[in-house]
């Protein structure tokens, strides 16, 4: 993680077209001390949460729920990531839902043409939008980034998507907390690592906050470990 400091960017989005569930994750993780834990790292800034459009949970022309909101979110995330990197910051995106990576990748592509992606997820997220059982962009963000579905997408959505080469993607399945922390620290310490997205925490399903506390600890420990590996 070579830049001067972290920039925490909240993206309170839920691709189901609602403002509950995972959309509440950035606020919940801040309440459980994430920004405080990260503030001990030199150069840390909290950019707050993006002000996102109100989603409408209806499938759009590409087959995705809240498609207009998705297009806007991708654009806003791209602008926020680009602004952080221009200031010499390492963007840490706090979702929200998986499609937040689309905006981040679009920003990186504008810089370097061929961004890479280490994708750690319980699913491959490559459903064609029109046959996704839910219609959520979280079912298909990797397929969207690989441009597998362009022929069926609206011009508005196609215009904001990144274009990843399959050779530049490494997909990794779920890991327990210890192995995940080590993998993450190694990735963050690697030359060329340009940002990190953490998403899919639903505080509505975690009334005791144990999950939130584990995530805060995981993020803080991985960043600390990655900084030590660079020394």
The CATH number assigned to the domain holding 103 equals 3.40.800.10
| Residue 44 near residue 36 (C-beta atoms within 8 A) | no
Q: Could you list the pLDDT tens digit for every one of the 231 residues in the chain?
A: 455 799 999 999 999 999 999 999 999 999 999 999 999 999 999 999 999 999 999 999 999 999 999 999 999 999 999 999 999 999 999 999 999 999 999 999 999 878 999 999 999 999 999 999 999 999 999 999 999 999 999 999 999 999 999 999 999 998 888 889 889 999 999 989 999 999 999 999 999 999 999 999 999 999 998 876 554
Count of domains for the chain: 1
Closest CA to 9 of 215, 197, 184, 189: 197
> What's the pLDDT at 230?
58
Q: What is the DSSP string of the chain?
A: --SSEEEEEEE---TTT-SSGGGGHHHHHHHTTHHHHHTTSTT-EEEEE--PPPP--SB-TTS-BTHHHHHHHHHHHHHHHHHHHHTTEEEEEEESSTTHHHHHHHHHHHHHSS--EEEE-SS-----GGG-SS--GGGTHHHHHTTSSGGGS-HHHHHH-----GGGEEEE----HHHHHHHHHHHHHSTT---EEE----GGG-TT-HHHHHHHHHHHHHHHHHHHHH-
Is residue 133 exposed (0-12), middle (13-18) or buried (19+ Cβ within 10 Å)? exposed
Could you tell me if residue 78 is left (phi over 0), alpha (psi between -120 and 50 degrees) or otherwise beta? alpha
pTM listed for this prediction: 0.95
Quote the pLDDT of residue 176: 86
Query: Which tokens go with 43?
Result: 């150069």
Residue 138 lies in domain: 5-230
**169 close to 150: Cβ distance less than 8 angstroms:** no
Residue 113's pLDDT is 79
């Amino acid at each position: 993680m070579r830049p001067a400091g972290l920039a925490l960017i909240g993206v309170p989005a839920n691709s189901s077209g609602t403002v509950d569930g995972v959309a509440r994750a950035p606020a919940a993780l801040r309440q459980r001390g994430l920004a405080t834990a990260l503030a001990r790292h030199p150069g840390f800034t909290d950019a707050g949460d993006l002000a996102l459009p109100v989603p409408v949970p209806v499938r759009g022309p590409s087959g995705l729920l809240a498609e207009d909101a998705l297009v806007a979110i991708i654009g806003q995330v791209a602008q926020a990531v680009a602004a952080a990197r221009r200031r010499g910051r390492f963007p840490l995106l706090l979702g929200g839902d998986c499609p937040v990576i689309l905006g981040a990748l679009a920003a990186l592509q504008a810089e370097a043409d061929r961004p890479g992606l280490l994708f750690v997820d319980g699913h491959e997220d490559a459903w064609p939008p029109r046959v996704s059982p839910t219609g959520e962009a979280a079912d298909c963000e990797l397929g969207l980034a690989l441009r597998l579905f362009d022929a069926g997408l609206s011009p508005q959505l196609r215009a904001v998507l990144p274009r990843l080469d399959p050779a530049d993607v490494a997909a990794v399945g779920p890991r327990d907390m210890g192995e995940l922390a080590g993998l993450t620290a190694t990735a963050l310490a690697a030359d060329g690592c340009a940002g990190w997205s953490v998403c899919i925490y639903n505080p509505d399903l975690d009334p005791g906050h144990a999950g939130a506390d584990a995530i805060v600890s995981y993020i803080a420990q991985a960043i600390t470990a990655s900084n030590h590996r660079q020394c």
